[in-house]
Amino acid sequence: MTGQRGLMVAARVLSVVSRPYYMPVVGFLALFTFTYLSLLPLIYKVTVLLMVLAFTVLLPRLCIFVYRKLNGWAPVQLRLRENRVVPYVIFMMSYAACLHLMFHLHMPHYMCGILLAALLIQGVCIVVNIWWKISMHCAGAGGIIGALLAYSVLFVFNPVGWLCVLILFSGAVGTARMLLRQHSLAQVVAGTLVGVAGSVAGILLI
């Protein structure tokens, strides 16, 4: 019983730290750490990270909090499939605003691609969510895998080592979501595939 309780706690913690709206920030952190972009001035990197954090996490979360309070909902009610459309749209509008600002600032396209990838993934998930609940957590984890593959093409490096790590991470996220009875195996797999495909398309096609 103690082991099962510990497993469920671990699943909840993993679900919290792998929330999909953190993924753009993680993507930019990876770019600024593991590529030649690490040579950029610290003030530039911090400014970009704060901008991305504001538009992809803080602003949409604040808007969703206000929306939930106006409807008199408990946090758990946002997990219902029929209640997830408006939060998705709020996130997409905030991401689109960030992408527009990045274009206005003439930031490199391969950096803007992270936001475009996130928009593509969310757009697909919104459409699918109309009929079927898809795992956004797994879409976010799959998006990181897709981003690694895309940037390995753009920057010409061997991604196998990190790819193994990210696949294990994605599998752990999917397992956590199923242990918490939030998604079925099919919803987890579908979310992961949408994330990988959307991320590759968003970064390579921009």
Domain spans, the chain: 2-204
Q: Per-residue pLDDT tens for 106-117?
A: 888 888 999 999
Position 82 pLDDT exceeds 80: no
pLDDT band at 34 (very low <50, low <70, confident <90, very high): confident
Encoded tokens for 88: 């998705």
What CA–CA distance (Å, rounded) separates 199 from 197?
A: 6
What CA–CA distance (Å, rounded) separates 127 from 132?
A: 9
> Which of 1-15, 89-103, 106-120 has the weakest average pLDDT?
1-15
Enter the pTM of the model. Answer: 0.88
The pLDDT assigned to 3 comes to 65
> Which of 125-134, 167-176, 186-195 has the weakest average pLDDT?
125-134
Q: Are 111 and 29 in contact (CB under 8 A)?
A: no
The pLDDT assigned to 6 comes to 75
Position 1 pLDDT exceeds 60: no
